[in-house]
Amino acid sequence: MAILKLFTDKEALRRIRTNDRTILGELFSRNINMIVSYVTQNWGTAADAEDLLQEAIVIVWQKVCTDELRLTAKLSTYLMAIVKNIWRDESRRRRRGEHSPLSHNIIDSQPQTLDSIILDEEAEMVQRGLNGIGLTCRKLLTLFYFEERNFKDIARLMEFASADVAKSKKYQCKNALADILKKMIAEKGNANDLR
């Protein structure tokens, strides 16, 4: 029922804090028309707008999780402000012919910088490393490093007994990931030595 899809900004923030990811699509659908309108009026495409909005939602999500976001305006206004900032930087980069994290989704033909290649490789390596640890560890590490949630929050969301338990688990999970990565790096080094 249509009315059930409606939610207030306050409700949206509450759902983000409780890690209710079902709100992601709703946030996107609610704001995409506004963003497309802005981006296409500023020499961008609808695909650019979609990427920008996704980026903005990710930023909002992180800000809410770290309690950095204090809404003094509507959430849509905040999203639009983020989009405008990213788009301004992105337009500048494109004018200079540079690659950016956003544009690698959009323009494949643009050359990547060394930094972004390294970042992609690191992410790929960590991704493979994450496949070697359990789902619980994966979720815990994402909550801590990506969403930057505190241990109290993590304990609540993952139903650990306390923040200390969460901290201890995170330590173990990270060490497990680090061990896998070290092995991978060593194997990679050996492979390079053989060439």
Binding site for other proteins (CB under 8 A): 1-6, 8, 21-22, 24-29, 54-55, 57-58, 61, 74, 119-120, 122-123, 125-127, 129-130, 141-142, 145-148, 171, 174, 177-178, 181-182
Q: Cα(78)–Cα(175) distance, rounded to whole angstroms?
A: 37
Question: Nearest approach, Cβ of 71 to other proteins (angstroms)?
Answer: 13
Q: Return the number of the residue (75 or 155) whose C-beta is nearest other proteins.
A: 75
Question: Nearest approach, Cβ of 101 to other proteins (angstroms)?
Answer: 9
Question: Nearest approach, Cβ of 119 to other proteins (angstroms)?
Answer: 6
Question: Nearest approach, Cβ of 40 to other proteins (angstroms)?
Answer: 18
23-32 burial string, b = 16+ CB within 10 Å, else e?
beeebbebbb
Q: Return the number of the residue (62 or 91) whose C-beta is nearest other proteins.
A: 62
Question: Nearest approach, Cβ of 5 to other proteins (angstroms)?
Answer: 7
Cβ contacts of 142 within 8 Å, gap of 6 or more: none
Q: Cα(133)–Cα(20) distance, rounded to whole angstroms?
A: 24
Answer whether 61's CB lies under 8 Å from 16's CB.
yes
Q: Return the number of the residue (53 or 155) whose C-beta is nearest other proteins.
A: 53
Q: Return the number of the residue (155 or 177) whose C-beta is nearest other proteins.
A: 177
Return the HEC string of 118-149. Answer: HHHHHHHHHHHHHHCCCHHHHHHHHHHHHCCC
Q: Which of 64, 65, 60 is nearest to 80 (CA)?
A: 60
Q: Return the number of the residue (5 or 70) whose C-beta is nearest other proteins.
A: 5
For 155, the enclosing helix (H) or strand (E) is helix 151-157
